[in-house]
Amino acid sequence: MSENSDTLVVEGLSGGYDRFDVIHDIAFRVGRGEAVALLGPNGAGKTTIMRALTGLLARRRGRVEIDGVDVGSLPPHRIARGHAAMVPEGRRLFVGQSVEDNLRLGGLRHRRDRERTEQLLESVFELFPVVERYRRREATALSGGEQQMVAIGRMMMSDPSLMLLDEPSLGLAPLAIADLSAALRRLRERDHSILLVEQRVDLALEVCDRVYVVYGGRIVDEGRADDIGAEGRALIDAYLG
């Protein structure tokens, strides 16, 4: 069972699409204020695990506890109400809306609490000055790296117990990835509980306290980022192909 210090506890999580399971007996945890990465090659099941945590995977079994609440059988809109929020792969910003509107849409669950909404908006702007600078621009007109900051800000606006990021570096230029790494480290310093799915081992090790390796729908290895030396990195690289 979960310790008080854990934001996320997953036990025996299996599930998939149609009749086939693509994730099998997954167990892992994210401590309070901890940043954890799921690393693995294409098709390993990382996104499917994220979808199971947010309730989007219709066929799932096992235990998912967030901040002591069993969310395993809750529908996505209930889980989104403060338990977990995700930056999806490809960002999926609202097209035709300004940066600020995208952020406010992320904070809809506080819509009756104006003060809270403004506080959250300020904390996003403090973390990402570029987002404040472009708050009136159309979100999808920004560069890929800037859009990623907006997507992270939109997730922050719902003030979730657990923050999920699905391959935030995908499609970004090297300079934008360096900015993203710095942004994620600032986010982590604020003691948020973060689960990051990545194919970039370097980014995950810069940002996270611990990593799990996902392969063939199972967790096959885990370790502390600090303890993973050149040998561990080579092993992970081998898994990632």
Ligand X SMILES: Nc1ncnc2c1ncn2[C@@H]1O[C@H](COP(=O)(O)OP(=O)(O)OP(=O)(O)O)[C@@H](O)[C@H]1O
Return residues touching ligand X (CB under 6 A): 17, 22, 40, 42-48
Distance CA 161, CA 82 (A): 6
Instruction: Identify the three-state secondary structure at position 206.
Output: helix
CB of 199 to ligand X, least distance (A): 6
Which lies closer to ligand X via its Cβ, residue 38 or residue 155? 38
Question: Are 68 and 119 within 8 A, CB to CB?
Answer: no
Nearer to ligand X, 47 or 148 (CB): 47
Structure tokens at 151: 């997507």
| Residue number with CB closer to ligand X (130 or 240) | 240
From the CB of 19, what's the least distance to ligand X, in Å? 10
Q: How many CB atoms lie within 10 A of CB 16?
A: 18
Minimum distance from residue 44 beta carbon to ligand X (Å): 4
Q: Bridge partners of 26?
A: 13
CB of 226 to ligand X, least distance (A): 25
Q: Tell me, what DSSP letter sits at residue 139? A: G
Which lies closer to ligand X via its Cβ, residue 40 or residue 168?
Answer: 40
Give alpha helix (H) positions in 107-166: 114-127, 129-133, 144-156
